[in-house]
Chain A
Amino acid sequence: MKKFKWLVPTIYIIFLMLPIYWLLNMSFKTTTEIINTYTLWPQEFTLDNYKKIFTDSTWYTGYLNSIYYVVLNTFISVAAALPAAYAFSRYKFLGDKHLFFWLLTNRMAPPAVFALPFFQFYSSVNLFDTHVAVALSHCLFNIPLAVWILEGFMSSVPKELDETAYVDGYSFWKFFFKIFIPTITAGIGITMFFCFMFSWVELLLAKTLTAVAAKPIAATMTRTASTSGYELGLLAAAGSLTIVPGAIVIYFVRNYIAKGFALGRV
């Protein structure tokens, strides 16, 4: 029984990799091969699909737009959530519990409910089709999540740390930046990972709030699929490339994730 334990995660990972492999497989095929034959690997290996994406500006600007608003959102969310999470983990104040639940309710709001009002609202404040609009709208679900995760990490840091620092003559802000933030870097790493992830994968709001200038890559893909016929190879190549930023981010935070797990909070 113990000997075959490794089989479970192995089978699961194979199941996870199959559709990803199929997408990669498609992306290296020519359109005629995709439509006419069923092949397990590309018979006529081609890089044309990728070439098109890297040379056509409507394609690659989509990637730049997405990365721009995702990074912007991650920084806004974490920067705003840090002091708030500290307040929730250290102090009692009027309405704290209700405020915390209210924040979480926004993580629960179905984006489909908000799509149309968001469009009207951001148009009326002249932010429609800007990266800032998407970054701000993603705060709706990322800030509550960031506060929730950071609060967990901060609560696991004993309060004596704060008190000792004050006795040693640290001012609050000096303590916060010089001592407190370095002790919870693992938590901040994980929070940034989750903010990046949820902003990167969201499409409904990002698509609703943009037209041309800030259009995310994912939206470029859906429009191609519907307007210029079904160019499956191109679509598969664009899809494969959307996996890359996520994979890079996972690779960099893998040690933080392990550390964060040791603290018992995700």
Chain B
Amino acid sequence: MNKTVNQKAWFFVIPVFVLVAFNAIIPLMTVVNYAFQETFGNNQFMWEGTRWFKQILVSERFHAALGRQVLFTLIILVIQIPLGIFIALNMPKEGIGVPICLVLMSMPLLIPWNVVGAMWNIFALPDIGFLGHSLNAMGFDYNFTQQSGDAWFTTILMDVWHWTSLVVLLSYAGLRSIQPAYYQAAEIDGATRWAVFRHIELPKMKKVLTIAILLRFMDSFMIYTEPFVLTGGGPGNATAFLSIDLVKMALGQFDLGPAAAMSLIYFFIVLTVCWVFYNLMMRNESKS
């Protein structure tokens, strides 16, 4: 759409700008404040420069948490995106099945995150949980509170349960926008199922898939509540992802300086990745 230049449009944006700035800029400045100074309470500050940043960037604890976080996010994306597309491709296109699928699949998305954690905790307990009990009955030695491999397995399964539906819904939306004429043309040409997917369905889903990947990246990289309730970051530090480690440092040990520096580095990483994605997305949009 060709847009008209109109500087007065700023008046329309002012309410949004004020509300978001109120929430974003002042708290962010507080974080910046802590990141460069040492505090002893009572509003007394001492300038520390970049000491906290240097300390965080070389600390093994931060590297370990970052490593776990990147691994977790990669596994999540590799499982959820293809699985979501696969389910969306097999969803009914019309009839009573459509609302049933949509309503039931949206259910996990609307459950408060700590309830998701608590629910999976009860579900996976080795003695009284369905998952834990069944796995042990099948001969696996499963206990997610004590073995780190099991804790990872449970956390990933929980996230797949929680968020794959978002990818399904978005992919389904993309698929619905394809005109039947495309499929008819493909049938006349005798295209294989794979060719239909590769040359008709995938290009049409490109835009929504970018949104899906972006949302899944952001949310899995910021994950806090669900693993905190499920495993508490344990056993040991096995599932202490970045947010969990950060809250431990800020509120548990009250190391405000290093925690603030870590927050900024953390935010910067998310921002960079999203900026790259965003530009790719905008470039696609201007092309089509």
Contact = CB atoms under 8 A, between A and B. Distances in A.
Interface of A: 5-9, 12-13, 15-20, 22-23, 26, 34-35, 38, 40, 76, 79-81, 83-84, 86-94, 96, 99, 101, 103-118, 120-121, 136-137, 139-140, 143-144, 147, 155, 159, 197, 200-204, 217-218, 221-222, 225, 232, 235-236, 239, 242-243, 245-247, 249-251, 254, 257-258, 260-262, 264-266
A201 B113 contact: yes
A139 B23 contact: yes
A28 to B, nearest CB: 13
Given A117-B27, A200-B112, A222-B114, A94 B107 contact: no
Nearest to A194: B109
Contact of B101 (A9, A34, A117, A264): A9
B140 interface: no
Contact of A93 (B6, B133, B247): B6
Interface of B: 1, 3-10, 12-13, 15-17, 19-20, 22-24, 26-28, 30-31, 86-87, 90-92, 97-99, 101-115, 118-120, 122-123, 127-131, 133, 161, 164-165, 168-170, 172-174, 176-177, 208, 211, 218, 221-222, 224-225, 229, 242-244, 246-247, 250-251, 256, 263, 266-267, 270-271, 274-275, 278
A95 B162 CA distance: 37
Nearest to B108: A16
A113 B266 contact: yes
Given A19-B120, A38-B133, A204-B224, A106 B20 contact: yes
B87 A8 contact: yes
A136 B90 contact: no
Contacts of A89: 1, 3
Given A107-B218, A236-B122, A218 B114 contact: yes
Contact of A26 (B104, B111, B122, B165): B122
22 contacts: A13-B101, A26-B122, A38-B128, A84-B16, A87-B9, A87-B10, A89-B3, A108-B270, A109-B28, A110-B246, A110-B266, A114-B31, A115-B251, A116-B256, A139-B20, A140-B23, A140-B24, A225-B118, A243-B115, A262-B177, A264-B173, A266-B211
Contacts of A251: 103
A116 B250 contact: yes
List the 6 closest A-B pairs by CB distance, nearest first: A246-B110, A117-B27, A8-B90, A264-B177, A87-B12, A117-B30
Nearest to A219: B114
B266 A258 contact: no
B86 to A, nearest CB: 7
B246 A155 contact: no
B19 A113 contact: no
A44 B110 CA distance: 30
Contacts of A143: 16, 19-20
A260 B174 CA distance: 11
B122 to A, nearest CB: 6
Given A109-B270, A217-B112, A218-B113, 16 more contacts: A12-B87, A18-B123, A22-B130, A110-B222, A110-B224, A111-B224, A115-B251, A117-B27, A117-B30, A201-B113, A218-B115, A243-B115, A251-B103, A257-B169, A266-B169, A266-B170
B107 A250 contact: yes
Nearest to B106: A250
Nearest to B175: A261
Nearest to B264: A113
Given A101-B278, A266-B211, A202 B113 contact: yes
A159 B45 CA distance: 55
A172 to B, nearest CB: 10
A246 B19 contact: no
A261 B176 contact: yes
